[in-house]
Amino acid sequence: MRVASADIGYREGPNNDSKYGRAYGLNFNPYCAMAVSLWGQAIGERSAVGWFAYCPSWVNWYRQRGQWLGRNASVVPGDIVFFSWDGGPTADHVGVVRAASTGSADVLTVEANTSSGQAGSQSNGDGVYARTRSRAYILGFGRPAYSGGASATTGRHRITKGQTLGGIAAALGVSVAALLGLNPDIKDPNVVREGQEINVPVKPTAPGGGNSTTGGGTSAPGPAPTPQPAPGPTPKPPKPSAGRYVPPAYPNGIAPNKARPSARQLQAALKATGYMPKSVAAADNYGPKTQSAVAKWLDANPAYKERGKRYDPSIGPKGWSALFRQAYGK
């Protein structure tokens, strides 16, 4: 949350130009998912949070890992919230929970690529904002298995009378979110029972030392583990050297009259090569203006045109790579 909150107030450039898109490698595209992925990477939790640019795939990832919670679940800071503006089964947008919320109460979030209020686009806005969202627009939540600064080793702890999840987390020196990530069966962090066994992070025992694992015993967790130095920033992938530009991968499902975020990426490349006016607004829709620009580019580069077609508004994998090399390969 610290990293996400620090970005509140960030504003994008024209046509979805953002620091998140540049860092992820998919600039000029909707970047809500890329931002959340990068926030997770910045705290050393990329494998726990996930690494996605497409919300529906991210939802499936959490479902497959047993870390998916419904829209009315109790949530804690650090949970990942997915939205469906029309109430359908497909995620349209994603953010990070910034405060605990229970039942049907509104959820406080930090979101990228949204607007400051209801007047603007909620999933293709102009920057990063703190928002308060109604559960009516929430599809559900992903609960990352945050490491909490502990090693990958886990043990078992049996809850005793009077213990709370927050108290156990404090004794272990981890967050409640970290404990919830290790125990996806716990839906409400305020509801645990005496005798219930939970997974807890455990520091490895030094040779000759005592055993810090709680095992199946009934004693409360011991003192908090010795704080470890915070991990340094994750190194950025090296930029391709001059003359070795690598075009982005050809996106699945891109086609005339289809709506895909990758249409914005295509439009940006067409503008960079002069085949689409820069005044045309970026959009997910591969509509008539995008089709016309693609057809013009294919007329100028007939090797990538479908044989026998006089007017071809579709771009294939080879044409996609060639277009992007022309746009950005110099």
Question: Tell me: the pLDDT tens digits for 153-175?
Answer: 567 889 999 898 888 888 887 77
The encoded tokens of residue 48 equal 């726990």
Structure tokens at 215: 């095992």
d(CA 5, CA 96): 10
8 A C-beta contact, residue 196 and residue 159:
yes
For residue 97, pLDDT beyond 70: yes
Question: How far apart are the two ends of the chain, measured CA to CA in Å?
Answer: 38
Quote the DSSP letter at residue 215.
Answer: T
Q: Which residues touch 237 (CB under 8 Å, ≥6 apart)? A: 25
What pLDDT shows up at residue 330? 52
Q: How many CA atoms lie within 13 A of 193 on its CB side?
A: 4
Q: What is the DSSP letter of 11?
A: B
Of 106-110, 177-181, 233-237, which gets the smallest average pLDDT?
A: 233-237
Contacts of residue 75, defined as CB under 8 A and 6 or more positions apart, other chains included, come to: 69, 81, 97, 100, 101, 107, 141
Q: pLDDT tens for residues 188-220?
A: 888 889 999 888 876 544 333 333 334 443 344
Q: List C-alpha distances in Å: 136 to 17, 85, 105, 142, 214.
A: 30, 8, 10, 17, 41
Taking Cα atoms as reference points, which of 101, 98, 96, 48 lies closest to residue 73? 101
Global model pTM greater than 0.85: no
Angle of helix 32-42 versus helix 55-64 axis, rounded to 10 = 50
- Cβ–Cβ under 8 Å, residues 59 and 91: yes
Q: What is the pLDDT averaged over residues 31-57?
A: 94
- CA torsion through residues 28, 248, 251, 66, sign: negative
User: pLDDT value at position 327?
Assistant: 79
Residue 234 in this model has a pLDDT that exceeds 50: no
CB atoms within 10 A of CB 175: 20
